Amino acid sequence: MIQRLLRLILENNKTEDLEMLKVENLVVNYGVIQALKGISFEVNEGEVIALIGANGAGKTTTLQTISGMLSPNSGKVLLNDVDITTIPGHKIVSMGMAHVPEGRRVFPGLTVLENLKMGAYTRSNKTEIAKTLEQVYESFPRLKERQNQLAGTLSGGEQQMLAMGRALMSNPKIVLMDEPSMGLSPIYVDEIFKIIQSISDAGTTVLLVEQNAKKALAIADRAYVLETGNVVLSGDAKDLLNDDSIKKAYLGE
């Protein structure tokens, strides 16, 4: 009787996953080339979602369309049930989304600190900005050590940390990360994935595009597999990590 009562209490206290981001039938063309062919997926609050696939599958195009860098030919992008499909990218940032682009794209002629402050351009509360800066420095102590150094003189791994830190300066609810481990040494790759995990643990939702499928699936909750602009497979990340077809196609096994 007591066990049944406890079970009923637990069932009544269950909360459904809160959907933060929803992509509906997204179509993106580059001239006559159809880069995305009507893809759909969702990201729930607090999740790490991985998008994996070969080069040219449409992963970067997906992130750029979600964050307002590209305009889709059709379909919708919803952020917390608000249609952001036609909203300019800079306004999407102020709605709680940040984008760490492929290739890092830091401002090489600005210092580390100046780059970080650029990430907070949508915010006005100086006290809160200073608080976020300290939190970024706690997560990336190397950036604090190099705060007065020009970004262009940092190593590739340090520039990636800077790009991630800059995104966090907007105090986002969700971060889109495009190939964060690209071109980095194995030591930096491990460090970057530990940081992504810590960002997630701190409560920020992450949508991750990553060529290193094994690393991405290891830290993700769920994953979607893209092939030539289509979602061809989705599921629990750990299940996909152990899927023979995924191992053969993307994990080099």
Does residue 7 register a pLDDT over 50? no
Residue the block writes with tokens 């379909």 = 75
Query: Is the C-alpha dihedral spanning 208, 213, 218, 221 positive or negative?
Result: positive
pLDDT of res. 2: 41
Question: Do β-strands 97-100 and 74-79 pair in parallel, antiparallel, or remain unpaired?
Answer: unpaired
CATH number of the domain encompassing residue 245: 3.40.50.300
pLDDT tens by residue, 49-79: 999 998 889 999 999 999 999 999 999 999 9
Find the DSSP H helices in the chain. Answer: 2-13, 59-66, 89-94, 112-118, 126-139, 141-145, 156-168, 186-201, 213-219, 237-241, 244-250
Does residue 163 register a pLDDT over 50? yes
- The identity of residue 145, as a single letter, is E
Residue the block writes with tokens 């030591």 = 187
pLDDT of res. 103: 78
Residue 145 domain flag: no
Are 43 and 174 in contact by the 8 Å Cβ rule? The answer is: yes
pLDDT tens by residue, 87-131: 999 899 999 999 999 877 899 999 999 999 999 999 999 999 999
Residues 6 or more apart in contact with residue 88 via CB below 8 angstroms: 68
Query: 15-29, 125-139, 142-156: lowest mean pLDDT where?
Result: 15-29
Residue among 152, 223, 140 at smallest CA distance from 188: 140
Does residue 9 register a pLDDT over 60? no
pLDDT of res. 25: 97
Does residue 3 register a pLDDT over 70? no
At 16, the pLDDT band (50, 70, 90 cuts) reads low
179 CB-side CA count, 13 A: 19
What does 81-100 look like in DSSP terms, one character per residue? TEE-TTS-HHHHHHTTEEEE
Residue 84 domain flag: yes
Q: Which two tokens stand for residue 29?
A: 């063309």
Residue 136 domain flag: no
Residue 4 domain flag: no
Residue 68 domain flag: yes
Query: Is the C-alpha dihedral spanning 126, 128, 132, 134 positive or negative?
Result: positive
Residue 87 domain flag: yes
Does residue 17 register a pLDDT over 50? yes
pLDDT tens by residue, 188-246: 899 999 999 999 999 999 999 998 899 999 999 999 999 999 999 999 999 999 888 88
pTM of the model: 0.87
Q: What is the DSSP letter of 111?
A: B
Domain range spanning residue 53?
Answer: 19-102+171-250
Cα 202 to its chain centre, rounded Å, is 14
Residue 8 domain flag: no
Number of domains into which the chain is organized: 1
Residue 237 domain flag: yes
pLDDT of res. 251: 75
Does residue 154 register a pLDDT over 90? yes
Greater confidence (74 vs 185) lies with 74
